[in-house]
Structure 1
C-alpha cells in the first residue's frame, strides 16, 4: 500500500470494525445472530426439500417460494460467517476484492428478493383477479423467465456501483470500515476523492429497484383487496384473503425494515452509530429468518408437509 498526503493508494486489505461502540459485547451479540442464521438455513432448506419432493407444489406460487428460499440462504451465507469471524474470532481483515464481492452479492441478493416478492404479488393478483387465465398466463416458461429476470436485473443494476468503486476510487482516507459487513456507503465514505457520483449511483439503484417493486406490489394488493371484498360469499372472501396473508407479512417485514434502515442512515445523524449498524444487520438477517416461519405457519400445504415428515419419522 502506498500512502500519499495521509491517504492510502489502492489498499489490498480492509478492516471491518464490527459494531462500533459495542466491541466489548460483540461476542454476545453474535449468539442470537448465529441462532437466526441456523434457523434460516434449516427453515429455508426444509421448504426447498418439501417443494421439490411434493409434485402438487410444483406451481408458480411455490416455485417462487423456493427461489425466495434459495435467495435467503445465499444472502445469509454472504454476511454471517464473516460477521461471526469478527465477533468471535477477532478476524476483522478482508481483502479489498473480497469486500467488493461481498458487497455485490449482498446487494444483488437483496434486489433479487425484492424482485421475487414482486413476482409472487403478480402471481396472487392473476390467481385471484383472473383465476380462469392463471394457468395460461403463469406458464412454466413465464415463471422461469420471471425468476431468472429478477436475478439478472439485480446483478446488472448493482454491478455499475461496484465497478465505479473499483475503477474510480484510488485513494482512501482509511482502511478501517465502521461496519460489520461491506456496505456500499460505508466503503464510499472511505474515499479521499470526490464520491458524489458513487453516492448518486447507489441511491439511484436502490430507488430503481425498491421503488419500482413497491409501486407494483402495492398496486397488485390493492386490486386483490378490491376483488376479494366484491366476492359474494363470505367463505370465498376468507379463502382468497387467506392465501395472501403470508405474502403480505413477508412483504411488510422486508420493506419496512428496508425503509426504516434507509431513513435512519440518511436522516438520523443524532442516532448512535451502533444503532445504524444493528438495524442494517437486522435488515439482512431477519427476512431469511422469518420467511420460512411465516410460510410454515400460514401456508397449509407447507405446514401439512412438515407435520407429515415429523409424524412419519416418529414411526
Structure 2
C-alpha cells in the first residue's frame, strides 16, 4: 500500500500539536478538511491514530509508532526532492551536520579547497536526532558526539574533551576551579527529552561512583532550555568544554569536573556510502583534527 505523503504531513502536524484547529491553521487548511484527511489515512492504514474527545486529542499506540516513523519518511522525501533538484540544476551539494560545541570551519575549508565544484550546506543537529539525520539523508556526513546509535553508520573518532558542570552563578561551588562528581551528589540533574537511555546515562553521569542514580530534574530539549533551567536553579547539567565556551552567560558558571568520562567527537556517515565527496570530507576532517592535535 502506498502512503500519501500529504496525509502523512497532515498527521505529523496534528501529532505535534495534539490539536486539530491549531494544526489546521499552521497548515493553512480548514479544520474539516484536515479531519477528513486524517480519517482517510486511518481508513487506509486500518487503525485509529488519535483518541478524540471533547476536551483533548491524544495518540493511540499506533499513532505513537507512526509519529516516530513519519519523521524519518518525511525527512527522506524532502532530502530526495532537494537532491533531485540539485542534480537537475547541475549543482553538487554536500550537507554537513554538526552538534553544539563542534567547530567545522577548518574541515569545510580543507574540503572546499579540493572540491570547489561542491556546495557545502551546514545543518545543526541535536543529540536526539544526530543518528536519524544521517540515516534519513537529512545530512550526508556529520560531526557527532558519543554515545550514538551506531547501527547503519560508519563512525570515525576525532578527539575527546573534558566536561564541565553547568551551575547557576550563585551556586555554593561556583567559585571552585574544579569539582568531583561526588560534590554534586545531592543536586538534581536535568534530563533530555527524546534521548536514548545510553545518552541519558552518559549526560547525567548515571550511575555515580557509589552506584546511585542522581535525582532527576526537569526535562529539556535544547541547550537554550538547559541554560534557562540551570540559571533558574532547577537543576545542574554537564556540557563539553567547547560547548560551554560557546554559551557564556553572566548568570551561569562552568566548573570543570575532574573525575567523569570525557566526551568523544566523531565524524560519521552512512555505512556503504560510496559517494566521493562524503569520503573526501571524512578524510579532510580526520586530517585537519590530526594536524591541530599535533600542533597543540
TM-score range, shorter chain: under 0.3
Q: Where is the helix percentage greater, Structure 1 or Structure 2? A: 1
Larger relative CO (CA 8 A, sep 6+): 1 or 2? 1
Higher strand proportion: 2
Instruction: Give the TM-score, by structure 2 length.
Output: 0.24
TM-score (norm 1): 0.23
